[in-house]
Structure 1
Amino acid sequence: MFYEILGLVLGAAGLLLLLALITHHPSDPSFSSPQGLGEPVQNWVGKVGSYVSALLFEWLGLAAFWLCFIFFQLTAFAFRKEPHPHPNPYWYGGGYLLVILSFAALLSGGEENFRYFGWNFPWGGALGYLLYRRLSLFLNPPGTRIFLLVLLLCGVILITRISLARLVEKARLRLLEKIRRLRDAYHKERERKRKAKTLKVEKELRKAKDAQPPTIVQTPALKPPPPPPRPQPQQEQFVFMKDPGDFELPPLSLLDTYEKPDQVLQQESLIMNSRLLEKKLKDFGVDGRVTEVSPGPVITMYEFEPAPGVKISRITGLADDLAMAMRAVSIRIVAPLPGKAVIGIEIPNHQRETVGLKDILSSPEFAESKSKLTLALGKDILGRPVVTNLAKMPHLLIAGATGTGKSVCLNALISSILFKARPEEVRFFFIDPKRIELLPYEGIPHLLHEVVTDAKMATRVLRWAVREMEDRYQKMAEKGARNIDTYNQRLIKERKGDSAKYPEEWLPYVVIVIDELADLMLISSREVEEYLTRLAQMARAAGIHLLIATQRPSVDILTGIIKANFPARISFQVSSKTDSRTILDANGAEALLGSGDMLFLPPGVSKLQRIHGAFISETEIKRLTDFLKKQKQAVYEEDLLTVEEPESVGGDEDLDEKYEAALKIVRETRQVSISMIQRRLRIGYNRAARLVEIMEREGIVTSGEGGRPREVLLKDF
């Protein structure tokens, strides 16, 4: 009974206090104004309510309502017969004191008071205002608010005895449970859609179960190369007896092995897809059947035999429609397949395989190749390794849009040579105007010169290559050799008594790699084109080969002269059929998948070969270059490119004679131009320009600045 009476008393006190605060009026009497304004008391609790509410509002402001909450909470405890609402009453009272004071101080952070019946009252009362101003002197307003919020939170913890750690743990568990439910719902919905799709396709398959199934071509598993013969045991050789000139080729363990996807196209799935392809073609009015299916690592080739009377042109124009119908990124149609009366339809796999460079280098095709310039291109559509010989190409042009795998292919080609050849056998000249792709190879022993990043300096590299080619032909003529291999063999036979494996006159292969041809053509297109043409036509026997890449497959970069002298070309994905024809003289590159998917045009063959390029990462390249640098330090020939500017690529042995002939032409015609001198004397452009410059220096003709024609100054000369 005592607790019930106590609860009633406390509840009534809390209610009266709440009514007093709510009905407070400034005109009522208070401790600061005992008489008030002489009007009747408007507070519902009378003079006691007016005095108490005025006192609380003056000192605590709106924080006074917390006192009502305290009375109501104590009332609830009394009715539940809990004599002690908190194990420690002092902590309980201290918590509420912190809450009321910090709340009042936080309310006093504003500059304005709140209005009540036309009168201004401070938000936090005098205590809150005083506490906030004092703290602001030491912590500034932002720091004061943070400090007061911490005090308020501490007071709540003291009152409620709630653990923040448990609150955070409960919130975390609820969040994880919500995520789990969403994930389960997502997987259930995905499984439902998959089953619905499978049932739909199986229904189509049952309709065509009586039709003849296509032949599934299974690619035989690749056999690793046979292990090398085990060497006979020899007497142990001490480290100090090791020949410092020994060079060890990089091991394949430097490269990563990429796992093949677990999802394998089963025979039933391939038959199902072939029937679906037949149905979609029939929807477009093309009758026929799929006779053979060839699954590969990235795409699957479906050989479609059209019905009699169906024109090939009707099928080749359906590539985009079939891609949408088969839900494929793109579809390439080869019509017809060479040597077969069928049309090839290449459809991408849902999960493509990463073709690692290690898979190609470890294949018998690469291991058994004796050429030091063996290039690992990748795998064909059936998953068979594709390697080629740069010495037989003898040059390679690579083009494609940005981000389609062109630079990765260039790195794979360079790395395949580095795994095959010693520095004495193959030397590189790297030209990288973009200063990105080829700089990791800086410092390897195979380099003739540091990586050239200046487009103007690249012209000197090509000029040096032309002179080196001419010097090599002169040396081969002295030995009676027709190519570099014969020259080196005869050189070894003549030096049988020499212990050196590579004599001083030994001629290594030279591979010039240009990462971006467009930058060179923009600087000096005529000179670059002239040097490239000369090298492409004559440098094969001299052992000088070109690897050129460009991301601008336009006619101003890949001119007709350059294309005519580069029969071996590779095209990655391009944006239009026009770019595809510019590179390969045929359509198809616009339908590639990107990420290393390429079309390869071998020399002397008009048939395009689709290859999935070998991938090598930057980490693998770093491991390879670090291994080579530890084997041997790079020795650059610094004065290699310090050559004088020639008058022309054709030589200047008869310069005086040509100059006199040029003067005679100018004297007779009273006109002068570089093109006229070039045409009349049948010499190169650069040489004709040099002759005109000499005439200008001697004061015979005027300069040709501003596009104005030159004039002859002297009447008699």
Structure 2
Amino acid sequence: MANNIDKNNGEKKEKLSRQAKSWLGLETETKNGILAVFFFTLSIISVLSYVNLAGIFGEYFIKIGNFLFGKGTFLITLTLILGGVSILKSFHKDIYKTTLIGMVLFVFSFLGILAIFYNGAEPVSGGGYIGYGFSYPFVRFLGIYASIIVFVALLVSSIMIILDISIIRLFGFFSLPFKKSKDDLPNTMEDIAADEEKGVIGQIAEIGKKILPRPNFRVQKIDEEINEDSGTEKNIFSKKTGIPDIKISNWKMPPLDLLEEDRGKPSSGDIKAMSAVIQKTLFNFGLEVEMGETNVGPTVTQYTLKPSQGVKLTKITGLSNDLSLALAAHPIRIEAPIPGRSLVGIEVPNRVVSQVRLKNLIEQKDFAHNSTLLTLALGRNVSGGPVFCGLEKMPHMLIAGATGAGKTICLNTVIVSLLYRLPPEQLKMILIDPKRVEFPVYKDIPHLLTPVIVDADKTVNALQWAVGEMERRFDILSAVGSRDIISYNKKNELKPLPYIVLVIDELADLMATFGREVEAAIVRLAQMSRAVGIHLVVCTQRPSVDVITGLIKANITCRIALQVASQIDSRTILDMGGAEKLLGNGDMLYLAGDASKPIRVQGAFISEKETKRVADYIRTIGQPIYQQEVTDHKRDGGSSWGGSSSGDDDIDDDMYEEAKDVVMAAGKASASLLQRRLRIGYARAARLLDVLEEKGVIGPPDGAKPRQVLIKDDSKDWYSQFDHQQEVK
């Protein structure tokens, strides 16, 4: 009984403490806004006190200020203004405690300097009693000159704390008034920001130059040196690439100020108490374990434990519901064992979660220094560490999850990460949006090869064009003796090939309309396009076997599973359970192509406003050059998804009349009939059946029965005679 009372009292105290810390549950922006208004109001009142317009309060304010601060009374106004500016500058950050510390340090260091300069640290005349008391021990032990150096250092540090600004930008800001012309001001600030962020964003361009060097002349000049006898190689380079040669001289990576920073701080409650509950619960079921380290992530907290000898892991995983009941947390996920460690991880949802923003990931050095050009910032793991991955190594990605789990935000994170990595001359994108509402924000950015595709027919054409472009690139690499796009682009005498990324927002809609064509194209690209720099990012909200087929899963090994409704859906995506126990809102399981088990990641969040700001900035720098042949039904060069030449459309037109004669003479229509009579493959036979149905020659499919011929022909041609002879035999 006493233990229960102590436990209840502890819980009440913890609850009251959290409520007091949360300011009645106010959001960070609200708290910062209140503080900013408070600081600016006090600064205005202090100014009015100097001119005797603040009444009795103003009189006492001046008297007390002169007594405590001496000649530094004006610091009260200046400090309050700096505090208000600091709050507004970091409006979304919970930094009021840091701001108050910086303000106190600013006042004390400034008063110490005044106390030294006025009458050798005598009280009242210089920095008041506060300045005298603060400076006296420094002057006594360090001397006057060393004390001044210390106070100046503290003063500069306090300004950096208040404004949350680096020393490079701080001194760059103070040097602006001394510039000769106003035209130099913007460039100076940009140079300062660029110097500060070098290694974060600025070095991306340097990496790109090393891997994709600037060409000295165009590919067409090589044609003159190729021997006339090698006509095949000459035709390869003379083909129209279908990709515009865009070079924007004033291209600059989008600034990080367009994005917002992380919000909130995760809290898992009493970690020791939770660990004790886990250990006690397992002990009650006869399982002895030794608790290990605890990792607090943005969404969940991972408690690690080491089972004693003879304890089966299946017994621990089977107690998932019992642990959830004991911890009063649902759902919990048990990872047994943790990959690479002899430990079991129990992931418990945090009481207070933090929001992982894309900005805090992009500004990491690991993002800029990554050796892969197509680096993606996914989010943070259960330990709070950033998770990055390279699209070149994947080389394709499948994203699936239930509605509202965060798929679209994950796609936006992928796209914006790429926009922060490469300029338009090194990266081209084809965005496919069957839902018509997800990708309009990227309209007319210079990275696009074609406007955002919303039509299913154009989607099939774009996929067919991508297959043709893949084959054209293979011919080019073969002609110059390069193994992949990286080795090809290192040859300075050749025109670099840009990477192409196809992003499909909803695969289920495309599979419902053009299932065979879409699946065949995706599989063909997934099998072969890695070496030539063409990559797929496919997303769906319906993780079923008729959408995520076996062929697609076999060729797209890198997958992301967000929250799903059942374990069956999780197995469809990852070939294992676990996604049904996720929390939603970007909580995901990321399965790398070379990994046997997925890792849990809290996906980065980017709002619609942030995405729009980034897209608007990129649009101001350059305009796209769209290629009409990407979505045209008939294309020059390249091949279709079935591996035949680009003249298939013309052949289909020629075969239409033959197919029409066959079905009219036979009185029935089926794909097998056309395959036998015309000696063609199933894909083309099925396509001819679709054309015949559109023309009204045959009826719709009727299960396994042959289709009905709607146009009758009384004449019997040699096809029907041949069938009759075969039946007699």
Question: Scaled by the length of structure 1, what TM-score is found?
Answer: 0.60
**Whose radius of gyration is greater, 1 or 2?**
1
- CA deviation after TM superposition for structure 1 residue 436, in Å: 1.9
- CA deviation after TM superposition for structure 1 residue 614, in Å: 0.8
Query: Which of 639, 644, 649 is the equivalent residue of 1:651?
Result: 644
- CA deviation after TM superposition for structure 1 residue 333, in Å: 0.5
Query: Is 2:9 the partner of 1:195?
Result: yes
Q: d(CA) in 2 for partners of 1:434 and 1:695?
A: 29
Within 5 Å, give how 1:534-573 maps onto structure 2.
534-573=524-563
Q: d(CA) in 1 for partners of 2:599 and 2:501?
A: 24
Q: d(CA) in 1 for partners of 2:603 and 2:378?
A: 6
The amino acid of 2:515's aligned partner reads S
Q: d(CA) in 2 for partners of 1:274 and 1:344?
A: 12
Aligned partner of residue 493 in structure 2, secondary structure = helix
Residue 527 (structure 1) aligns with: 517
What are the superposed Cα offsets for residues 263-318 of structure 1, whole Å, 9 maximum, x if unpaired?
7569xx32222112111223344332313322222222112223444332222122
When residues 678 and 343 of structure 1 are mapped into structure 2, their CA distance, relative to the original with a 3 A threshold, is farther
Q: d(CA) in 2 for partners of 1:686 and 1:697?
A: 17
Within 5 Å, give how 1:432-443 maps onto structure 2.
432-443=433-444
What are the superposed Cα offsets for residues 664-701 of structure 1, whole Å, 9 maximum, x if unpaired?
xx89x9897323655899964332345678999999xx
The amino acid of 2:254's aligned partner reads P
Q: d(CA) in 2 for partners of 1:553 and 1:354?
A: 26
Residue 262 (structure 2) aligns with: 258
Query: Is 2:281 the partner of 1:280?
Result: yes
Residue 685 (structure 1) aligns with: 682
Residue 299 (structure 1) aligns with: 300
Residue 608 (structure 1) aligns with: 598
The amino acid of 1:570's aligned partner reads I
Aligned partner of residue 271 in structure 2, secondary structure = helix
The amino acid of 2:540's aligned partner reads T
Residue 570 (structure 2) aligns with: 580
The amino acid of 1:493's aligned partner reads E
Q: d(CA) in 1 for partners of 2:261 and 2:329?
A: 28
The amino acid of 2:253's aligned partner reads L
Contact 2:591 2:597 in 1 (8 A): yes
Aligned partner of residue 581 in structure 1, secondary structure = helix
Select between 319-328 and 378-387 the one with higher mean Cα deviation: 319-328
Aligned partner of residue 502 in structure 2, secondary structure = strand
Residue 508 (structure 1) aligns with: 498
What are the superposed Cα offsets for residues 201-248 of structure 1, whole Å, 9 maximum, x if unpaired?
9xxxxxxxxxxxxxxxxxxxxxx99999x99xxx99999xx9972211
Residue 53 (structure 1) aligns with: none
Select between 549-558 and 643-652 the one with higher mean Cα deviation: 643-652
- CA deviation after TM superposition for structure 1 residue 627, in Å: 0.7
Aligned partner of residue 718 in structure 2, secondary structure = coil
Q: d(CA) in 2 for partners of 1:605 and 1:293?
A: 24
Q: d(CA) in 1 for partners of 2:418 and 2:571?
A: 30
- CA deviation after TM superposition for structure 1 residue 382, in Å: 0.8
Q: d(CA) in 2 for partners of 1:456 and 1:384?
A: 42
- CA deviation after TM superposition for structure 1 residue 593, in Å: 1.1
Higher relative contact order (CA 8 A, sep 6+): 2
Contact 1:312 1:335 in 2 (8 A): yes
Q: d(CA) in 1 for partners of 2:460 and 2:167?
A: 45
Within 5 Å, give how 1:134-173 maps onto structure 2.
none
Residue 459 (structure 2) aligns with: 458
The amino acid of 1:255's aligned partner reads L
Query: Which of 668, 674, 685 is the equivalent residue of 2:671?
Result: 674
When residues 426 and 643 of structure 1 are mapped into structure 2, their CA distance, relative to the original with a 3 A threshold, is same
The amino acid of 2:331's aligned partner reads S
Contact 2:566 2:580 in 1 (8 A): yes
When residues 680 and 397 of structure 1 are mapped into structure 2, their CA distance, relative to the original with a 3 A threshold, is farther
Q: d(CA) in 1 for partners of 2:690 and 2:264?
A: 65
Contact 1:450 1:636 in 2 (8 A): yes
Aligned partner of residue 621 in structure 1, secondary structure = helix
What are the superposed Cα offsets for residues 75-125 of structure 1, whole Å, 9 maximum, x if unpaired?
xxxxxxxxxxxxxxxxxxxxxxxxxxxxxxxxxxxxxxxxxxxxxxxxxxx
When residues 468 and 324 of structure 1 are mapped into structure 2, their CA distance, relative to the original with a 3 A threshold, is same
When residues 693 and 577 of structure 1 are mapped into structure 2, their CA distance, relative to the original with a 3 A threshold, is closer
Residue 422 (structure 2) aligns with: 421
Q: d(CA) in 1 for partners of 2:264 and 2:545?
A: 40
Residue 718 (structure 2) aligns with: 716
The amino acid of 1:246's aligned partner reads N
When residues 644 and 313 of structure 1 are mapped into structure 2, their CA distance, relative to the original with a 3 A threshold, is same
Question: Scaled by the length of structure 2, what TM-score is found?
Answer: 0.59
Q: d(CA) in 1 for partners of 2:517 and 2:460?
A: 8
Contact 1:331 1:346 in 2 (8 A): yes
Residue 21 (structure 2) aligns with: none
Contact 2:268 2:352 in 1 (8 A): no
Within 5 Å, give how 1:69-148 maps onto structure 2.
none
- CA deviation after TM superposition for structure 1 residue 604, in Å: 2.3
Q: d(CA) in 2 for partners of 1:697 and 1:427?
A: 35
- CA deviation after TM superposition for structure 1 residue 414, in Å: 0.6
- CA deviation after TM superposition for structure 1 residue 200, in Å: 12
The amino acid of 1:709's aligned partner reads P
When residues 698 and 596 of structure 1 are mapped into structure 2, their CA distance, relative to the original with a 3 A threshold, is closer
- CA deviation after TM superposition for structure 1 residue 325, in Å: 1.7
Contact 2:332 2:347 in 1 (8 A): yes
When residues 415 and 246 of structure 1 are mapped into structure 2, their CA distance, relative to the original with a 3 A threshold, is same
Aligned partner of residue 582 in structure 1, secondary structure = helix
- CA deviation after TM superposition for structure 1 residue 544, in Å: 1.0
Aligned partner of residue 635 in structure 1, secondary structure = coil
Q: d(CA) in 2 for partners of 1:609 and 1:420?
A: 24
Q: d(CA) in 2 for partners of 1:643 and 1:332?
A: 49
Query: Is 2:576 the partner of 1:591?
Result: no
What are the superposed Cα offsets for residues 353-399 of structure 1, whole Å, 9 maximum, x if unpaired?
11111111111211101433110011111111111110111110000
What are the superposed Cα offsets for residues 433-457 of structure 1, whole Å, 9 maximum, x if unpaired?
1122211111111111111112232
The amino acid of 1:302's aligned partner reads Y
- CA deviation after TM superposition for structure 1 residue 257, in Å: 1.4
Contact 1:430 1:514 in 2 (8 A): yes
Residue 219 (structure 2) aligns with: none
The amino acid of 1:674's aligned partner reads A
What are the superposed Cα offsets for residues 559-579 of structure 1, whole Å, 9 maximum, x if unpaired?
111111100000001111000
Q: d(CA) in 2 for partners of 1:264 and 1:690?
A: 58
The amino acid of 1:716's aligned partner reads W
* Alignment: residue pair count: 479
The amino acid of 1:250's aligned partner reads P
Contact 2:692 2:698 in 1 (8 A): no
What are the superposed Cα offsets for residues 484-533 of structure 1, whole Å, 9 maximum, x if unpaired?
2222222x335xxxxxxxxxx54211111111111111111111101111
The amino acid of 1:537's aligned partner reads Q
Identity over aligned residues, as a percent? 43
When residues 392 and 659 of structure 1 are mapped into structure 2, their CA distance, relative to the original with a 3 A threshold, is same
Q: d(CA) in 2 for partners of 1:546 and 1:365?
A: 24
When residues 459 and 192 of structure 1 are mapped into structure 2, their CA distance, relative to the original with a 3 A threshold, is farther
Aligned partner of residue 403 in structure 2, secondary structure = coil
Q: d(CA) in 2 for partners of 1:697 and 1:351?
A: 58
Q: d(CA) in 1 for partners of 2:693 and 2:292?
A: 74
Contact 1:225 1:364 in 2 (8 A): no
The amino acid of 1:311's aligned partner reads K
Q: d(CA) in 1 for partners of 2:386 and 2:472?
A: 38
Within 5 Å, give how 1:22-61 maps onto structure 2.
none
Q: d(CA) in 2 for partners of 1:311 and 1:679?
A: 59
Contact 2:503 2:536 in 1 (8 A): yes
Cα RMSD over matched residues? 4.0
